[in-house]
Structure 1
C-alpha cells in the first residue's frame, strides 16, 4: 500500500495538465482540419510521403477528439464517471493515435532519407497503392501493440499515478512508451544527419542554397518537434519509475505530478505537425497563410467595431 501522502493530488498540476490538453485540442483540431482540407482540395500531386502525412493528419484529429475527456478527468480530480467501457475505448484510441502519429512522422523522415541519400534504391519507386498498404499495416501494427490499453481496469483510467502491483499490462505500457520514444527518435536523428550531410555535398552552388535551407528547416523541425513533445515526458517517466522504490513520499508525489504535466505535452505533437506540412509542400503554406490572414483580419474588424468614447456624450 502507498502511504497516504504519496497519493495526494496537486490541484495546480491537474489544472495545468487540463489546460494544456484543452489548448492542444483546440489548436490541433484547427491546424489539422486545415491540413485535411488542403489534402482534399489543393494538393494536386500525391506521393508516398503525402500519404503518410495524410494518415498523420487523421491520427492527430482522432487524438484531439480524446483530449477533452482526458482534460475532464484531471479537472474532476482524477475521477472517471462514464463507465469502464468508455474508459477502455478512450485509452485504446488515445494510445493508438499517439503511437500511429509517431510512426507516420518517422515514416515521412525515412522516406525523405531514402530518396535523398539512397536515391537509386528500388524502394523509392514505391507506388501509391503500396504506400496505402504500408499505412494500413502501420495502423494494424499499432492496434496490436496498444490493445492492452483496452484491458485496464476502471481504476487505471486514465492515470499516471504509481501502482504497487506490477501487472503485465502496466509493464507493457511503460515498455511500449519508452520504445516508441527511443527507436523513432534515434531513427529520426540518424536520417536527419544523413540527409543534411548529403544535401551539403550536392547543393554547394549559391543558387541552390534556398533548397538546402528548406531541407535543413524540415529535418530540424521534425527533430525539434519530437524532442520538445516527448523528451520531458520521457525524463519524467524515468524519474517516476525510479521513485517507486523510494520511501520518500514527497519525491514520489513530485514525480507523479511532473509525469501528469509532461504527459500532456506529448499531445503537442498534433499542434506542431502543421509545421512539417508547411515545409513539405507550398500548398500547405498557402492554406495556413490564408487562415492566418483571415483570423488577423477578423480581429482587426472586431477592434475597429468596438464601441469607443464619444466626446459628445461626455459630461465633462
Structure 2
C-alpha cells in the first residue's frame, strides 16, 4: 500500500533525539546478551532435568517459552534504534516482530495470572475444588491459551502501533475504528490482569499470615512468590501502560513539542518491559525448590552445589539423573504450585 499513509508512518518513526535511542539500543543488546543464555539454560533444565510435564509445571514452561521468543525479537529492536528509527525499516519484518512482541507479552501475562489464580485457590480456598489445578496439568489447555491470544495480537500488525499513527491523527473511519480497538486491547491486556493479580495476592498473603501450621520457611517462600508476581508485573508492565496513556493524551491535545519528549519516555519504558524475560526465570521458576536444585545441579560446580544444598533442609524428595549420577531433589510444595 502506497500513498500519504506510508510517508506519514516513516515521518513518525524517525527519532528526534538519536542519542536517547543509541542508549536504548545498548540496553536492548544487554537484555539480549543476558536473556538468551539464561532462557536457553532454563528451557534445557525444564525439558531434560526437571521434566515439567511430570511436576505440574506446564504453565511455568509456557512462561519461559514466551520469554525466549521475546528475547529472539530483541536484536531487531536494537537494530532499528541504531538506525535512528523506532521500528525496523523493513515494514513486513516490523509487523512480524511486533506481532511476536504482542503475542509473547500476552502469553506471559496470561500464564502468570493463571498461576496466581491457582495459588489463590490452593491457599485461600484450601479443600475446595480448584478448577485451575486440573487445567494446569493439561498441555492442551496451554495450546488453547496461545490460540486465544492470536486474535489479540493481530491489531498490532494492522497499522504501525509503535510509531503511534493512532488516536489523534487524521485518518479514515476504518483507521479510527482500528486504532480504538488496538488501544483498547493494549490497555485491557494490562489493567484487568493487574486487578486480578492484586486481588489474588492480597487475599493469599492475608491467608498465609493467619496460618499456624506448617514450616515458617515454606510459608515465607510462598508469600515471596505471590508478592513477587505483582512487583515484577508493576515494574515491567504498568510504567509503559501509563506512558502510553500520557502519550495519547498529549497527542489528542495537539502538544507536538511535548509529544516528542513523551514518545522517548514511552519507548524507554517499553524497553524496561522487556526486562520481564530476565526476571521471570529468576522469580517465577527459581523460587520452586525442585527446579532450583535441578538448575544448580546442572550448571553449578559440584562443591558449590553441595554447599548450597546444606543451607536448606528439603522435606520431600524426588530423584533425577544427570551426567551419570543420581540426585535427590526436593519436590514442589503444594502452596507454591
| TM category, shorter | 0.7 to 0.9
Measure, in 1, the Cα distance between the counterparts of 2:87 and 2:13: 20
2:105 maps to 1:98: yes
Residue aligning to 1:73: 80
Residue aligning to 2:204: 195
Contact 1:47 1:128 in 2 (8 A): no
User: CA 1:29–1:7 in 2, change beyond 3 Å: closer, same or farther?
Assistant: closer
- Which deviates the most, 104-113 or 10-19? 10-19
Question: What TM-score do you get using the length of structure 1 for normalisation?
Answer: 0.81
User: CA 1:270–1:7 in 2, change beyond 3 Å: closer, same or farther?
Assistant: closer
Q: 1:239 offset after TM fit, Å?
A: 1.1
Measure, in 2, the Cα distance between the counterparts of 1:142 and 1:175: 15
Which is helix-richer, 1 or 2? 1
User: Which structure 2 residues correspond to residues 123-162 of structure 1 after superposition, within 5 A?
Assistant: 123-124=130-131, 126-127=133-134, 131-152=138-159, 156=160, 158-160=162-164
- Which deviates the most, 255-264 or 273-282? 273-282
2:281 maps to 1:277: no
Contact 1:63 1:93 in 2 (8 A): yes
User: CA 1:6–1:146 in 2, change beyond 3 Å: closer, same or farther?
Assistant: closer
Q: 1:92 offset after TM fit, Å?
A: 1.2
User: CA 1:55–1:11 in 2, change beyond 3 Å: closer, same or farther?
Assistant: same
Residue aligning to 1:11: 18
2:184 maps to 1:175: yes
Measure, in 1, the Cα distance between the counterparts of 2:244 and 2:155: 19
Question: What TM-score do you get using the length of structure 2 for normalisation?
Answer: 0.76
Residue aligning to 2:320: none
Measure, in 1, the Cα distance between the counterparts of 2:135 and 2:188: 29
> Per-residue CA shift, 1:32-91, capped at 9, x if unaligned?
212111111221564685111111111111111111101111111117666433222212
Residue aligning to 1:308: none
Residue 271 (structure 2) aligned to one of 242, 254, 264: 264
> Per-residue CA shift, 1:132-184, capped at 9, x if unaligned?
222112101110111122332xxx37434766136233332222121111111
Q: 1:22 offset after TM fit, Å?
A: 1.7
Any stretches of 5+ residues in structure 1 without a counterpart? 297-316
2:182 maps to 1:164: no
Measure, in 1, the Cα distance between the counterparts of 2:13 and 2:71: 31
Measure, in 1, the Cα distance between the counterparts of 2:52 and 2:245: 43
2:241 maps to 1:241: no
Q: Classify the secondary structure of the residue corresponding to 1:159.
A: coil
User: Which structure 2 residues correspond to residues 289-300 of structure 1 after superposition, within 5 A?
Assistant: 291=299
User: CA 1:292–1:245 in 2, change beyond 3 Å: closer, same or farther?
Assistant: farther
Measure, in 1, the Cα distance between the counterparts of 2:246 and 2:255: 13
User: CA 1:8–1:76 in 2, change beyond 3 Å: closer, same or farther?
Assistant: closer
User: CA 1:214–1:80 in 2, change beyond 3 Å: closer, same or farther?
Assistant: closer
User: CA 1:125–1:250 in 2, change beyond 3 Å: closer, same or farther?
Assistant: closer
Measure, in 1, the Cα distance between the counterparts of 2:62 and 2:86: 32
Q: 1:17 offset after TM fit, Å?
A: 2.4
> Per-residue CA shift, 1:105-158, capped at 9, x if unaligned?
111111111122223333358447863222112101110111122332xxx374
User: CA 1:21–1:251 in 2, change beyond 3 Å: closer, same or farther?
Assistant: same
Residue aligning to 1:55: 62
Measure, in 1, the Cα distance between the counterparts of 2:83 and 2:132: 52
User: RMSD between aligned alpha carbons?
Assistant: 3.0
